[in-house]
Amino acid sequence: MNELYPYFWECTGGSVLASEDSLHGALREVKEELGIELDAKSGKLIYQTRREQSQDFYDVWLFHADIDIATISLQQTEVITVSCIPYLIILSK
Protein backbone atom coordinates (compact mmCIF):
# COMPACT_ATOMS: atom_id res chain seq x y z
CA MET A 1 0.00 0.00 0.00
CA ASN A 2 1.21 3.49 -0.83
CA GLU A 3 1.94 5.16 2.50
CA LEU A 4 1.46 8.69 1.14
CA TYR A 5 -1.93 7.94 -0.42
CA PRO A 6 -3.40 4.89 1.34
CA TYR A 7 -6.45 3.31 -0.34
CA PHE A 8 -6.17 5.46 -3.48
CA TRP A 9 -6.04 3.78 -6.90
CA GLU A 10 -2.54 3.61 -8.27
CA CYS A 11 -0.80 2.01 -11.24
CA THR A 12 1.71 -0.79 -10.82
CA GLY A 13 5.19 0.66 -10.66
CA GLY A 14 8.63 0.66 -9.17
CA SER A 15 12.28 1.32 -9.78
CA VAL A 16 14.19 0.07 -12.79
CA LEU A 17 17.16 -2.17 -12.02
CA ALA A 18 20.63 -1.27 -13.31
CA SER A 19 20.45 -4.06 -15.90
CA GLU A 20 17.02 -2.98 -17.25
CA ASP A 21 15.56 -0.37 -19.53
CA SER A 22 12.23 1.28 -18.76
CA LEU A 23 10.16 -1.28 -20.71
CA HIS A 24 11.71 -4.31 -19.04
CA GLY A 25 11.41 -2.70 -15.62
CA ALA A 26 7.69 -2.19 -16.23
CA LEU A 27 7.26 -5.80 -17.37
CA ARG A 28 9.08 -7.08 -14.26
CA GLU A 29 7.05 -4.92 -11.88
CA VAL A 30 3.74 -6.13 -13.38
CA LYS A 31 4.92 -9.74 -13.06
CA GLU A 32 6.01 -9.21 -9.43
CA GLU A 33 2.94 -7.29 -8.27
CA LEU A 34 0.18 -8.97 -10.31
CA GLY A 35 1.61 -12.26 -11.55
CA ILE A 36 0.92 -11.22 -15.15
CA GLU A 37 3.39 -11.81 -17.98
CA LEU A 38 2.85 -9.11 -20.59
CA ASP A 39 4.14 -9.10 -24.15
CA ALA A 40 6.73 -6.35 -24.61
CA LYS A 41 5.42 -5.78 -28.15
CA SER A 42 1.99 -4.81 -26.76
CA GLY A 43 3.45 -1.96 -24.69
CA LYS A 44 3.42 1.70 -25.59
CA LEU A 45 5.27 4.45 -23.74
CA ILE A 46 2.54 7.07 -23.28
CA TYR A 47 4.25 9.55 -20.95
CA GLN A 48 7.83 10.33 -19.97
CA THR A 49 9.35 13.08 -17.84
CA ARG A 50 12.31 13.82 -15.60
CA ARG A 51 11.20 14.87 -12.13
CA GLU A 52 13.67 17.44 -10.81
CA GLN A 53 12.44 17.41 -7.22
CA SER A 54 12.83 13.65 -6.77
CA GLN A 55 15.79 13.42 -9.20
CA ASP A 56 14.32 10.56 -11.21
CA PHE A 57 12.70 9.68 -14.50
CA TYR A 58 9.01 8.85 -14.67
CA ASP A 59 7.79 6.66 -17.54
CA VAL A 60 4.21 5.49 -18.00
CA TRP A 61 3.56 2.41 -20.13
CA LEU A 62 0.23 1.18 -21.45
CA PHE A 63 -0.16 -2.48 -22.44
CA HIS A 64 -2.98 -4.20 -24.28
CA ALA A 65 -3.72 -7.72 -23.03
CA ASP A 66 -6.74 -9.97 -22.60
CA ILE A 67 -6.53 -11.04 -18.96
CA ASP A 68 -9.00 -12.93 -16.80
CA ILE A 69 -9.08 -10.90 -13.58
CA ALA A 70 -9.55 -14.16 -11.63
CA THR A 71 -6.05 -15.29 -12.67
CA ILE A 72 -4.28 -12.26 -11.19
CA SER A 73 -2.02 -13.13 -8.25
CA LEU A 74 -1.58 -10.11 -5.97
CA GLN A 75 1.67 -9.39 -4.17
CA GLN A 76 0.08 -8.81 -0.76
CA THR A 77 2.70 -6.33 0.44
CA GLU A 78 2.17 -4.09 -2.62
CA VAL A 79 -1.40 -4.57 -3.86
CA ILE A 80 -4.74 -4.60 -2.03
CA THR A 81 -7.08 -5.14 -4.98
CA VAL A 82 -7.35 -4.69 -8.75
CA SER A 83 -10.03 -3.40 -11.09
CA CYS A 84 -10.67 -3.66 -14.82
CA ILE A 85 -11.09 -0.34 -16.58
CA PRO A 86 -12.26 -0.23 -20.20
CA TYR A 87 -9.58 0.91 -22.64
CA LEU A 88 -11.67 3.79 -23.99
CA ILE A 89 -12.14 5.22 -20.51
CA ILE A 90 -8.37 5.19 -19.94
CA LEU A 91 -7.78 6.96 -23.25
CA SER A 92 -10.40 9.61 -22.47
CA LYS A 93 -8.59 10.80 -19.31
The answer to whether residue 1 sits within a structural domain is no
Percentages (nearest 5) of helix, strand, coil residues in the chain: 25, 20, 55
The answer to whether residue 34 sits within a structural domain is yes
The answer to whether residue 27 sits within a structural domain is yes
Instruction: Output DSSP code: residue 49.
Output: E
pLDDT-derived band of residue 29, with 50, 70 and 90 as boundaries?
Answer: very high
The answer to whether residue 73 sits within a structural domain is yes
The answer to whether residue 8 sits within a structural domain is no
The model carries a pTM of: 0.82
The answer to whether residue 54 sits within a structural domain is yes
- Residues with Cβ within 8 Å of residue 14, at least 6 apart in sequence: 25, 29, 32, 33
The answer to whether residue 79 sits within a structural domain is yes
Tell me which residue range forms the domain holding 75.
Answer: 22-92
pLDDT above 90 coverage of the chain, percent:
52
Q: How many structural domains is the chain composed of?
A: 1
Vertex 17 angle, CA 78 and 34, to 5°: 30
More confident residue, 5 or 49: 49
Model pLDDT, residue 39: 98
> Does residue 85 have a pLDDT over 90?
no
The answer to whether residue 10 sits within a structural domain is no
Nearest alpha carbon to residue 23 among 43, 5, 3, 4: 43
